[in-house]
Structure 1
C-alpha cells in the first residue's frame, strides 16, 4: 500500500485537522488506516445487501457490529486481523446477494464504497457523514458488549445498516443532519440495552471502595470494558493463587455484586489508557486487553500483552472465542508479581477510589438529594465526564473539580475521572460530593438521574442546576454527545479541543441550536454554568 493516510476521528489528531503521512498519533500505520477504510467501504457494501424492510439476521448484525468495532480508535493495529474481518464482511455480502459484483442491474453500486469519496466530499457533507460514521462506530462497541451477554435489539441492528447506507449514498444535507440526531436516539436505546444486560447478568452496581494497593504475588491486570471477559478470567483463576486487578474503564466492575463475590478481584491498578506505556513498563504481570484503549506496547512489556475480542496487536498472543485464558495464567505464575505489597496512588496521591454510583444507587437516595437541593445545601451538579487522553490541557478537568464550589456535587463516568477520582471532596447530607457512575456507556445512568430530577422539580433538564463538562477522545464519546443533543440538552462544554471533523457550518449549527462550546478556564466555566430553575 502507498504510504499515505487520512484519519481525523480522534481528539489527538495532528494539528486538529487530521493524521496524514505514514502513521497516526494513536500509533496505527498508514497501511492499517487504509485497511480500516477498506473495511468500512465493505461494510457500506454489505449494508446495501440488507433488506431494509425486515429485521437483520443475527449473523449479519454480528458481522456489521464486529466490523465497525474493529475501526474504533485503539482497538486493532493488526493488519492480518483487519484483512480477515474484511473477508468476513465480503463473505456475508456474498451470502445475502450472490454474485452481486457481476450484477447488471441499474443500481450501479455493486462495488464497495471508496472512502476517498467521503474524505474528499465538500466539508459540510464530510462533517455530517463523519458524525454518523464515528457515532455508529462507538455505538457498535456498546452493541457488541450487550450481544456478548445475550442482549440484542432489532431496531439498533437495522439502524447500523441505514446509517452505513446514508454514509455511502445520501447527499441531502437535511437528511444527513436528521440521521446524525437519529444516531443519538438509537444510541440511547443501545446504552439502555447494555445497562439491562449488565445489571441482569451481574446485579445492580453498589457504591464500592476500591484499593489501589497491589498485593505481593502473581497477578493479572485487565483493561478495557468487557465484563464477560473479566468474569471468565475470574472463574478460570479461582483457587490458583493469582489476584486480578482492573485497569482504566474496567474499574466499575468492582461495583457489580456477582463480580464482587470473587475474593481474588482485589483492586485497581494504574489510571487511564494513555498512561499504559509508563505504568506497564517492566510490570511483573500480564495484561489482558478486552476492548479498545490499547496503546502500542513498549518492548519492555510486549511479551506480557494478551488481547481478546476485537482487540489485536502484531506479535501479541490473542485469546480466541474459546476463551481459554491458560496462556495469561501461565504468564502470571511465571512472572510472579511483586515480592512485597505495593502501595500505589492515583494522580493526586489518593490510595483508594470509589465507584458504583449508578442511577439505581443515586436514585435510591432521591429524597435526600431533592431535600438538599431545596434547602440550598446542594447548589449545583456538574457532570464532569468522558475520555482521558495525553494531549495537553486535560489538567483543566482536575482543576475544575478542585475549584467547584463546596456545595456542589460532581458526577463522573468513563476514564476521564482518573484525573480526579482519588480526591477526597467530602460529603453533603451524608452523600459523597464525588460520585463515579461507571463506564462511558453508563452515561445512560447519568441521563436517568437527570430525567428523574427534572420530573421531581417539574422542569426540563436544561432548567436544572446541572451542567455537562465533557472530555472526549474517541468514537464512543461521539455517540454519547449525539445522544445528549438528541435529548435537547444544551450548553455543554466540550474539550480539550473541538472535533476536527466539525466543519464551521456544522459547528455553528451546534452552537446556535444547542449552545455547545469549548472549555475555557475552570474559573470562567464554573461561573458561567452555575444556573438553574430549582429554588
Structure 2
C-alpha cells in the first residue's frame, strides 16, 4: 500500500495495514489496479475518439469507476474486485470499437495490455504493477508528484461529472477530453513541462464538469434562493442524507411523503435546503450536524436512519451505527447495506422503526443560498457598496475540510476579517465558521454561503462578473482566496483556478504531500501559491494586496 492522495495522508504516504482514512492495504491496492486498467480503457477510447466514435457505456462507467477511488468513498474489497473485472471488459469493448473504426492500435502503453488477473488473490499479487510510486527510483519524486497532480485532478473531474451524470446529464466531448488526459497518463510521462500543461488542461476540463453539474442542478431544482435553514431538530421520525447527490435526496423526499418522517441534510447536502425544487417538500426539516469528519460522533447520537450518497464515509462500526447506515452509488463499506437503485424502502423502514426525536428543539437557523444568481441579482448594490468603500475586500474562504489541528486557520481567518469585508464560502470548510455571528453590511450578511464544493463554479462566475463590471482583471479585485484542500475534488478546483490564471491563492492547512518541494516551487513561481501561515501575518498580506 502506498497512498498520498489526501491531506490526512502521512508525510511519506500511508503504507501501513490501514490508511488514515480507514481503508485497508488491500482496498488501496485494488483501487490502484482499477485506475491502472481504467487508464487502458481511456487509451482505446481516446483512439476511437480520434475516429469520431464514442460509446455511452464506456463513458458512463469511466467517471463512476474513477469516483470509487476517491478518499472516503468505498472500502469494500469485493466490490472493487467486481469493478476491476468490469473495467477489463470495458477495455476489451473500447479496443474492439477502436479497431472496428480503423484506429491505429500500434505502440500501446502498458495499461492498455496489462492483465491483473480475475481472482482477488491474483489481483492483489499484481498490484505492485499499478502502485503510484512504482517508478519513484527511475523517474524521481518530482515527476511522480506531477503525474499524481494530474491523476488526482482527474479524479475530482470524474466525481463532478458523475454527480451530473446521475442527474441525466452527459457530454461526449467532455469525456473525450478526460480520455485524452488519461491516455497521456497511461504512457507514464516524464516531461515536467508537459505534465504541468496537462494539469492546466485538467483545470479547464473541471470547469466544464462543474458548469455541467451546475446546469443539471439548477435546471431540475431551480436556482438556490436565500433561505434561513433550520439547524435544530423537530419532533418525529428522522432520516438524514449525507454526501452530494441531490437526485438521491429528491427521491428520498418523494418516497417519504406522508410517512411522518422528517428528512435532514448533512455535510455538503446543506445547500439543498436552498433549492426551490427541494425545499418545497415540507418534511425536508433542516440540517443536522457539521462537517463530514464529525460524523462518527454525530451519527452515533442521531435517532434515525442514515443514507450516504457520495464521498465522506468514515468507519461506522467504531460507534455502532452500521445497522442503520445505507450507502448509494459509488459508496460502500463491507457489511453495510448498499442500495443499488433509488429504492429507499429499506432506509425508510429503518427510520420508521427507530425512535426519532421526541420533541422540537429551540429553533436555530443559518442563512444559505447565496449562489451566483442570488448574488448577481444584487450586483448593482454590491458594486455600489464597493465603489463607496462600504465593502473594501472580498474573501473566498472554504473548500474541503478535515480533522487536522491546523484547520482552525480558516475559522480564525474568517473571524479576523475586517467588518467592511464580505466572505464567500463553499464546501464543508464553511462549517468552521458558518454559525459565527460576523454581522452584516447594509443588511447583507458578511458570510455568504455559495453552496457545495462544486459551487466553486458559482464563486468563479461571481468574481468574473464583478471584475468585468469594474473593468479590471480578477487578480486586480480586492479579492483573496483562502482554500482549504483535503482531497481530489479540491485538487481539481485548485487546477481550475490556476487554469483561469488566478494567483496569490492561500492554500492550507498544509500543502499537498504528493508534490515534492521542487514541484511546489514551480507552482509557487508560476502562480504565486502561498502556504497558509499565521493568520495575523497572512491577513496583513491579504489586505495589503488591496491597498
TM-score category (smaller protein): over 0.9
Match of 2:40 in 1: 45
Is the 8 Å Cα contact of residues 410 and 434 (structure 1) preserved in structure 2?
yes
Match of 2:4 in 1: 8
With structure 2 as the length reference, what TM-score do the two structures score? 0.92
2:29 to 28, 34, 38: 34
Is the 8 Å Cα contact of residues 180 and 482 (structure 1) preserved in structure 2?
yes
Cα shift at 1:115: 2.4
CA RMSD of aligned residues (A): 1.8
1:168-183 pair list within 5 angstroms: 168-169=186-187, 170-183=189-202
2:247 to 198, 217, 228: 228
Match of 2:130 in 1: 115
Cα shift at 1:515: 0.8
Work out whether 1:265 is the aligned partner of 2:278. no
Cα shift at 1:442: 0.2
- Find the aligned partners of 2:130 and 2:330 in 1 and give their Cα distance: 22
- Find the aligned partners of 2:421 and 2:44 in 1 and give their Cα distance: 52
Cα shift at 1:188: 0.6
1:286 to 289, 305, 308: 305
Cα shift at 1:533: 6.2
1:30-429 pair list within 5 angstroms: 30-50=25-45, 51-53=48-50, 54-97=52-95, 107=108, 109=110, 110-112=112-114, 114-116=129-131, 118-121=133-136, 122-169=140-187, 170-297=189-316, 298-321=318-341, 323-343=342-362, 351-429=364-442
3-state secondary structure, aligned to 1:209: strand
3-state secondary structure, aligned to 2:175: helix
Cα shift at 1:299: 4.3
- Find the aligned partners of 1:198 and 1:533 in 2 and give their Cα distance: 35
3-state secondary structure, aligned to 1:6: coil
3-state secondary structure, aligned to 1:393: helix
Q: Tell me the alpha carbon deviations over residues 164-201 of structure 1, each in whole angstroms, 9 at most, x when there is no partner.
A: 11222033222211100100011111111111111001
Matched residues, number: 520
Match of 2:527 in 1: 514
Is the 8 Å Cα contact of residues 43 and 186 (structure 2) preserved in structure 1?
no
Cα shift at 1:99: 12
Q: Tell me the alpha carbon deviations over residues 393-447 of structure 1, each in whole angstroms, 9 at most, x when there is no partner.
A: 1111111111100001011000010010011222112211110000000000000
Q: Which runs of 5+ in 2 are unaligned?
A: 99-103, 116-128
Please say which of residues 167-176 and 515-524 is displaced more in the overlay: 167-176
Cα shift at 1:151: 1.4
Q: 1:119 to 1:465 in 2, by over 3 A?
A: farther
Is the 8 Å Cα contact of residues 221 and 278 (structure 2) preserved in structure 1?
yes
- Find the aligned partners of 2:95 and 2:215 in 1 and give their Cα distance: 35
Cα shift at 1:112: 2.9
- Find the aligned partners of 2:525 and 2:347 in 1 and give their Cα distance: 52
Cα shift at 1:343: 4.6
- Find the aligned partners of 2:271 and 2:109 in 1 and give their Cα distance: 49
3-state secondary structure, aligned to 1:125: helix
Cα shift at 1:525: 1.2
Q: Which runs of 5+ in 1 are unaligned?
A: 345-350
With structure 1 as the length reference, what TM-score do the two structures score? 0.94
User: Stretches of 4+ moved more than 6 A in 1?
Assistant: none
Cα shift at 1:521: 1.6
